[in-house]
Amino acid sequence: MNLTQEDWVSQFEADENAVILDVRTEDECNEGIIANSINIDIHMGQGFINEIEALDKNKNYYVYCRSGMRSAKACEIMNELGFENTYNLVGGIIEWNGDIV
């Protein structure tokens, strides 16, 4: 599900079962990440699938990338793998108004 930043943040902050997932490259992450996010690079192909499959499907995943395109694809892949609650950050980190670390 695509969410605006405002909805993504308000929903995430109220969600005790939330995980923030950054699907950018390591180089991109080195430029700054949203606090408490985990990084799994979608460009790793099967490695991405393997790491995603190891995640807890009972959690709710708030996914972002640079612009929102890769994270939308990651949400599709996760849904196909049986994850029911994935939320894509529309606009990605380039439109992010919150803090990055």
Output phi, psi for 71, to 5 deg.
-70, -35
pLDDT single digits (tens) 74-89: 999 999 999 999 999 9
pLDDT single digits (tens) 58-78: 999 999 999 999 999 999 999
> Would you list the domain boundaries of the chain?
2-95
- Residue of 85, 83, 59, 58 lying closest to 3 (CA atoms): 85
C-alpha distances (whole Å) from 64 to each of 19, 75, 93 are 11, 9, 7
Active-site positions read: 65
Is residue 60 a contact partner of residue 75, using CB atoms and an 8 Å limit? no
Pairing of strands 37-39, 60-64: unpaired
Pick the CATH number of 2-95 from 1.10.357.10, 3.40.309.10, 3.40.250.10, 3.30.70.250: 3.40.250.10
3-state secondary structure of 72: helix
Q: Is the pTM of this model over 0.95?
A: yes
